[in-house]
Amino acid sequence: MDDLIIRKDRRAGRITFNRPQALNALSHDMALAIHQALDDWRNDPDVDLVIIDAEGDKAFCAGGDIAAVYQAGLKGDHAEGERFFFDEYRMNAAIADYPKPIVALMQGFVMGGGVGVGGHASHRIVGDTTKIAMPESGIGLIPDVGGSWLLAHAPGRIGEYLMLTADRMGPGDAIHAGFADYYLPEGDWPALIDKLAESGDVSIIAGAPAPEAPLASADLSAFEGESVADIIAALEAAGDDTALKPIRRNSPLSMAAGLRLVREARSDARMQDSLQREYRFTSRATRDGDFIEGVRAQIIDKDRNPKWRADASPAAVDAILSPLGADELHFDEAQGKTP
């Protein structure tokens, strides 16, 4: 596959995103190929660790390639989205649970699907250009790919803040929030990759002192509110127009569901529980959510003026996050890789 370069390099399995012209957006086929490579190397005695990196200086992976999901949803075909998210989330879980170390080197934009690949690796490296965000509410989705799990385990109310505002974290904030482990100037990455492939030993990773983390000292008390409306009211009382501006642009249903997902994920025993809950939303997104309109406004027509229509009441959130019965996301390989 041209969009991914998958190979063995001495003691390492190597996966390199190779769609720099598309900001290394993750397609369905790419998600399946990553999962297959991990399966192939799981019991390979020649592979001691896995290295995931990306071509180009603008993005590690700026999100999922959801064009096919959008086009199918327009035609009333909701199965395309179900299959895409089902397979993507199983790949995310495979990364999180992998028995060998996975080193992810994340430069530039790391958003949505990119967080699902790099954010669950065992050794996550960021550099000066890194910008990590979960902007899904702007296209009528929720923080998925295990994003609700990561947000839930960020300190204080950083999770709620990032979910609602889609703010971009630099390297310092990414480490502080638990989305990364090491800061290393990107000029040092090729030498580190070479040493990792030669030695197969992740103990050689040594990060440099991390840059400042503005979120560590930010007042996010407004995000303690029970509902999105409560949070908006607190931000209005504080005169925080910077936070209010993106919140007012996002899908109300996506924000209400996302807020619940982040808070419920704090009680999850494992990331798979969060993924399963996320799938309940995304598998219904083209049918019951604001996804079609969000993609139209932000990606297709690019008028940046979505007309949100989905009900955002507590009952609607209950419905879109309700269990799927026999169609629930599962992680049993014996049951196949698609719903």
| Rounded Cα gap, residues 204 and 127, in angstroms | 17
Element (H, E) at 285: helix 285-288
Question: Active site includes 114?
Answer: no
Among residues 53, 144, 167, 181, which one is catalytic? 144
| Rounded Cα gap, residues 131 and 92, in angstroms | 20
Residue 288 CB neighbour total at 10 angstroms: 16
Question: Active site includes 64?
Answer: yes
Among residues 64, 112, 127, 159, which one is catalytic? 64
Task: Retrieve residue 325's tokens.
Answer: 């019965």
**Residue length of the chain:** 339
Among residues 53, 82, 136, 160, which one is catalytic? 136
| Rounded Cα gap, residues 248 and 287, in angstroms | 23
Among residues 113, 118, 138, 294, which one is catalytic? 113
Q: How far is CA 64 from the centre of its chain?
A: 9
**Burial class of residue 8, CB neighbours in 10 A (0-12, 13-18, 19+):** middle
Describe the crossing of helices 158-165 and 241-249 by its angle, rounded to 10 degrees.
60
Instruction: Concatenate the DSSP letters of all residues of 176-187 into one string.
Output: HTTS-SEE--GG
Q: Which residue type is seen at 181?
A: D
> 148 with 276: CB under 8 angstroms?
no
Question: Active site includes 144?
Answer: yes
Residue 30 CB neighbour total at 10 angstroms: 25
Residues designated as active site: 64, 113, 136, 144
